[in-house]
Chains A and B, each alone.
Chain A
Amino acid sequence: MLRHGSRSLFGRASATSMRWRRLFSTDLPVETAEDTKFVESWKKMNPNMDPPKTPSAYMKLRPPTPANIPSKLTVNLVLPYDSVLSSKEVDMVIVPATTGQMGVLPGHVATIAELKPGILSVHEGNDVTKYFLSSGFAFVHANSVADIIAIEATPIDRLDPSLVQKGLADFQQKLNTASTDVEKAEAQIGIDVHSALNAALTG
């Protein structure tokens, strides 16, 4: 009797949770590949009770590669304090990866790229919007969604060229007078960031 009670309780819980999930119209599968093994061994031990859900049953799977390449790329540019672009449909973005400028088109293979300080350009038809990113990561998913995260992203016209030149000269001097590894690294970072800013302003 207790056994039946638990099954009906669980059944009701799963029914409501299924209904709740469908309300949000996400295509979450109930079980993932990891769970089939658990479910099978549970059924062997305990064929009369429904197996409980495991954490992976609640996780969203990696977005699958669609059959047809979508025509637009969906871009999200997020900062810790603001989401600059949120699900914007564009034709292409060029991200400043540490391995060089990387162009991302719809249908790009799933990639994780670490970014260096540089320009992110968003191409939509004939419009190009440029942002200077301080550093961050770009995640491209198989379903042509690109998530770009950075700590600072400013439009180029908000940068002050005189401050950039001054900063570059300062850090070049600091590199010459630096003694410890940390000081040298900081000076080198300063030079890298300011040269990238300079290139963004003049290029």
Chain B
Amino acid sequence: MSSSAAQPFWRAAGMTYVTYSNLCASLVRQCLKEPYRSEALSREKVHFNVSKWVDGKPEKPTIRTDTPE
């Protein structure tokens, strides 16, 4: 009963829906006129840091940010 149904091409290539949807949204944002474009691109900025835990202790975090410090 569970035959692999026809998948969208992006899922067949290993992309998830979330990645696909975010990619579509960022492409649309890049095609906007000013001033809407700068407002929209500010929505894409992220700022987070990730640290892996080994033996119950966090290692040095990697910071991913688009905001200038």
Contact = CB atoms under 8 A, between A and B. Distances in A.
Size class of B's contact patch? 20 to 34
A49 interface: no
A185 interface: yes
A167 B31 contact: yes
A98 B8 CA distance: 10
Interface stretch (B18-26, B46-54, B55-63): B18-26
A186 interface: yes
B68 interface: no
Given A160-B31, A163-B31, A167-B27, A151 B14 contact: no
B15 to A, nearest CB: 6
B32 A159 contact: yes
B14 to A, nearest CB: 6
Given A185-B15, A189-B10, A151 B22 contact: yes
B31 A159 contact: yes
A182 B14 contact: yes
Interface of B: 8-10, 12-15, 20-25, 27-33, 36-37, 40, 43
Interface of A: 81, 98, 117, 132, 134-136, 151-152, 154, 158-160, 163-164, 167, 181-182, 184-186, 188-190, 193-194, 197
